[in-house]
C-alpha cells in the first residue's frame, strides 16, 4: 500500500518536473502549458479572410440535400425563415424603412458563415456536422442568395474568395452621437 502510494508520488513529481518549464517563469505559477493538439481541438475560430478555414470541400448540390434534412425545419425550405432566422433575400432593403437582414443582404464575410454553422448549428446538435458538410451548406446558402452558382464547390479558397454584397456596409461607432 505504502509502496504503491510512494511510487504514485514519485510519478507525480516526475511529471511536474517535465512540465515545470511551462510555468517556472510566470508570476503566480498557475496553469500549465497548452499542447498544440489541445489548441487544435478547441480553436475553431475562422477569421473574416478565411485564412484559418480547415481542409475539406462541399458542393452546392450536397448542401441542398443537407439543408433539407438539417436546416429547413427552422429556417424554411428556401431559407425564408421560421423558428430560425431568415437566411435568404433582402438585398437592396437595408436603406429602406423595413430592412430585411439575411446572410445574403447583410453578412459582410462569407467565412463567418462557415464559422457560425460549424460552432452553433443545427441548434439541437451543434458541432455535429463535418467540415465537408459545413462547406456544402455554406455554398447552398450563398447559392440561394444568388452569390455563388449552382455548380459551385466550396472550400477554403473559394469561400474566402466570395465577396459578400454588404462587405462595405459597416462603419465605425461614432457615439456619443445624441444629443
Q: What residues make contact with another protein under the rule CB under 8 A?
A: 22-23, 26-28, 30-34, 38-39, 42-45, 47-48, 82-83, 94-97, 99, 101, 103, 106-109, 112, 115-116, 119-120, 123-124, 126-127, 169-179
Q: Which is nearer to another protein, 14 or 174 (CB)?
A: 174
SS3 34: coil
CB 160 within 8 A of CB 49: yes
What gap in Å lies between CA 49 and CA 167, rounded to an integer?
Answer: 12
What gap in Å lies between CA 58 and CA 118, rounded to an integer?
Answer: 13
What gap in Å lies between CA 59 and CA 5, rounded to an integer?
Answer: 57
Q: Which is nearer to another protein, 14 or 42 (CB)?
A: 42
Q: Which is nearer to another protein, 17 or 171 (CB)?
A: 171
Residue 94 beta carbon to another protein: minimum distance, rounded to whole angstroms:
4
What gap in Å lies between CA 6 and CA 75, rounded to an integer?
Answer: 60
Residue 1 beta carbon to another protein: minimum distance, rounded to whole angstroms:
26
Q: Which is nearer to another protein, 6 or 120 (CB)?
A: 120
Amino acid at each position: 500500500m505504502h509502496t504503491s502510494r510512494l511510487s504514485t508520488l514519485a510519478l507525480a513529481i516526475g511529471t511536474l518536473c517535465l512540465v515545470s518549464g511551462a510555468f517556472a517563469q510566470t508570476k503566480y505559477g498557475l496553469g500549465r502549458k497548452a499542447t498544440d493538439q489541445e489548441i487544435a481541438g478547441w480553436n475553431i475560430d475562422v477569421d473574416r479572410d478565411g485564412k484559418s478555414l480547415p481542409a475539406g470541400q462541399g458542393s452546392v448540390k450536397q448542401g441542398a440535400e443537407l439543408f433539407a434534412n438539417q436546416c429547413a425545419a427552422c429556417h424554411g425550405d428556401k431559407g425564408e425563415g421560421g423558428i430560425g432566422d431568415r437566411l435568404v433575400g433582402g438585398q437592396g432593403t437595408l436603406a429602406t424603412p423595413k430592412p430585411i437582414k439575411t446572410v445574403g443582404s447583410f453578412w459582410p464575410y462569407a467565412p463567418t458563415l462557415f464559422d457560425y454553422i460549424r460552432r452553433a448549428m443545427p441548434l439541437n446538435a451543434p458541432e455535429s456536422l463535418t467540415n465537408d458538410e459545413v462547406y456544402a451548406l455554406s455554398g447552398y446558402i450563398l447559392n440561394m442568395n444568388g452569390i455563388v452558382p449552382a455548380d459551385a464547390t466550396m472550400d477554403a479558397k473559394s469561400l474566402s474568395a466570395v465577396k459578400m454584397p454588404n462587405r462595405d456596409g459597416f462603419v465605425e461607432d461614432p457615439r456619443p452621437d445624441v444629443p
